[in-house]
Amino acid sequence: MIQELDKVTNLTVSRSILENQSAAQYREILKDFVSSDIKIIIGVFDQDTALKLFCEIYKKNMYGEKYQWIILGAYNTRTIFLNMDRHKDLNCTIEQLLTAMNGTLQT
């Protein structure tokens, strides 16, 4: 879908966020978004990836009115947070994740 959007709009795909990457890889991708001044991000990834990614988004302050995250596919927030115990290495609280996810458009 993103490649189709690129054909009809002035959309540039700069980096891909893949599932099952490390937190360090997500930090590097987010760093690239900041340095490229990318403010609108379209994502397609599973709930486990969303947890790790939005934790890093929170830490980099890449949420709120300066950024728009568009996630293709809706997440059941309750299910995401019930699965947090599987992510012992996640260094974010539920409140921090909710802060980072607030305002995210989900289709």
pLDDT digits (tens, 9 = 90+) for 13-61: 556 676 778 888 889 999 999 998 989 998 888 888 888 899 999 999 9
pLDDT digits (tens, 9 = 90+) for 63-97: 999 999 998 877 776 777 777 777 777 889 889 99
Reduce the secondary structure of the chain to three states and give it as a string. CHHHHHHHCCCCCCCCCCCCCCHHHHHHHHHHHHHCCCCEEEECCCHHHHHHHHHHHHHCCCCCCCCEEEECCCCCHHHHHHCHHHCCCCCCCHHHHHHHHCCCEEC
